[in-house]
Amino acid sequence: MATLQSKTLGRLLKDARIAAQLSIRQAASEADISKSLLDAWERDQVDSPELGKLLRLAAVLEIDPTAACEAAGYDLSGTLPSIKPYLRSKYPTLPASALQEIAEITEKYGIDPNHTGPRPGEDEQ
């Protein structure tokens, strides 16, 4: 069996969709993308999938967003998302009350919710 790193985006998406027992139409609908777009992605006919749509589909198919982005050819070296987009993509159904709690925690502890992580070497100190 191929490892995750050796799969094309299309193979990754199709395998995950089949494992989730979803038709192309069902998966596309849940991710709010067109069936034809998902079909093109599964056939590796799209060079640069739109990131937002890809992340929504990854959430529906329970694919690690980083794995989906890497399979799509996004260079993620040295980048981390800030907490807000990360949580929106990882947990798309968070209720407003949970988002408010996150805002309160980041404010209470002086965390910049738009900060993307430590600078190189900063976390090794």
Show the CA angle centred on residue 30, arms to residues 49 and 9, nearest 5°: 30
Residue 37 placed within a domain: yes
User: In this structure, are 18 and 66 located in the same domain?
Assistant: yes
What does the block give as tokens for 8? 């094309």
Predicted local confidence at residue 4, as pLDDT: 44
Predicted local confidence at residue 93, as pLDDT: 85
Per-residue pLDDT of the chain (125 residues; tens, 9 = 90+): 344 446 899 999 999 999 999 999 999 999 999 999 999 999 999 988 998 899 999 999 999 888 898 899 887 766 666 777 777 777 888 888 888 888 888 888 877 766 655 555 555 44
Residue 13 placed within a domain: yes
Residue 124 placed within a domain: no
Predicted local confidence at residue 40, as pLDDT: 96
Residue 123 placed within a domain: no
User: In this structure, are 43 and 64 located in the same domain?
Assistant: yes
pTM listed for this prediction: 0.60
Residue 22 placed within a domain: yes
Tell me the residue range of the domain where 90 lies.
83-116
Predicted local confidence at residue 1, as pLDDT: 38
Overall number of domains in the chain: 2
Predicted local confidence at residue 125, as pLDDT: 46
Contact between 46 and 13 under an 8 Å Cβ cutoff? The reply is no
Q: What CA–CA distance (Å, rounded) separates 89 from 70?
A: 15
